Structure 1
Amino acid sequence: MDTLNFDGSCDPNPGGIMGFGWIINWSNGKKPTEGSKEKKPSKSNTNNVAEYTALKEGIKNYLKLGGKGPLQVRGDSKLVISQMSGKWKVKNENLAEIKNETSEIIKKHNLNVKFTWVPREQNSIADRLALPKSRRNNMPKSDSKTESKSNSVKPENRKFVADVNSSSVSSKLRLQINELNTSPSPGFKSFAQLKVGGFDSFSRKKLETLQKEAGPKASSIAKKEFPNNSSQQASALRWMLRGLSTDLAVKKVKVDIELSKKRKK
């Protein structure tokens, strides 16, 4: 059976640039086919719209390349997979329109499709392709292959310096941090999209102050991960104090470092 993995992103969400990515693995042994597109910022752009559009574009590409099915479609969006398989109702008009268009394409070509949800770590290639091109070019190619290992701490075993629900962060940032903290293996794009959106109460605090507030254990972790770089240590501690778990705070800083290096080239 041929397989199609898809993913979509909107940066920032909502209203930002949407990226769509997919990869087709052929049952006849042919080399896998990767595809990606993006759309300029718009008020109607959201992560869910991006996910649905990635699915639609992936199926269209599969048919264009001569795919006949049966086709197993895999994605890490429970919303899209559950709605396409008929388990959940579609209440949003924008999503309903894309869903109906996708269903019509499937029906028109008499395509036998099975929808399966997969965790993000099993969708890493599509996850990377879903990033807008400017961000994807700044992402290390090896990252999508190693990110599940680097984020192997189970949510229930994560360590925290501060409770995000009591932290002085914006409601939007609180939601993003909660999503990361409860995800078994957050993808690269999730860290790339995690932004304060200006300055908050932690932004201007110096390393010494951050170390006192975060405590010796957290300070030791930051120092071990980013030796001889006080700026990176401070950044990790800021994210810990905002409510991000210690392991994810370290990953966030490492992602920012990689993006910064690529932008300077």
Structure 2
Amino acid sequence: MTGREILHKMKVKAGFGTSGCDRGKGKSKMSKNITHGFHLMKGKSAHAMEDYVVSKFKQEKDKELGLFAIFDGHLGHDVASYLQNNLFDNILKQEDFWTETESAVKRAYLITDDKILEQSFELGRGGSTAVTAILINGQKLVVANVGDSRAVLSKNGKPKQLSIDHEPSKEKNMIESRGGFVSNIPGDVPRVDGKLAVARAFGDKSLKMHLTSEPDVIVENVEEGTEFLILASDGIWKVMSNQEAVDCIRKAKDAQAAAKRLIEEAVARNSKDDISCIIVKFQ
């Protein structure tokens, strides 16, 4: 076995995905019914793969946490890689995480962005979106996001979106209040200062005066009828509705197969972007 193959297996076991580790799966030790799987696929762009994921369970004190995240980088992959390695650690370091979870997650996002900006010389001028989900004891989901990667929960075959797409056109007032502008050129998507197609992101030092990295945070209980959670980058949501995504994978045999199936469907619909997807199955 080569060194690269050994590293690949270690990354899969640890629940990390990059361009060198494009799939993986696992399950909860607390509830054997809860499983997870991820899949990534390089898009048709000339640059290297810029998506990173975290998909794993870990014990934290007397609780089991499912940690799931997709980081969709732009103008380079270093910021997304940094987030993969540091964001959850920064969240769990917050002393009030267990008592004031929403505020702790918001604070950790902002702290992490400050650290990224301080290291912009090493990490480069790029940035990354993020969608994160923390599953606490298999019973409560804490979902946060900046950018346009999305979290969708399926309940009895019906989708419930747990994240907010931070599109420049929707946050025009906020961007303009910071001194920026939103371009709307025919044939192109709205962009912050004519450059970035999302209104919130980590990094992007040159645009940070007109952006924010403050996440939206939603807490959702896992109730009867909850089937699975989808976390996916915008390469899926550009070509599929929430309902179409749920219908596509509802009969998949396992979580990893579901993630792969969803990406294959997006590609069949002519999605050209890098695509990453995590599925957490509750039944």
**TM-score normalized by structure 2?**
0.24
Q: Determine which structure has greater relative contact order: mean sequence separation of CA pairs < 8 Å that are 6+ residues apart, divided by chain length.
A: 2
The structure that is strand-richer by fraction is 2
- Return the index of the structure with the highest Cα Rg: 1
The structure that is helix-richer by fraction is 1
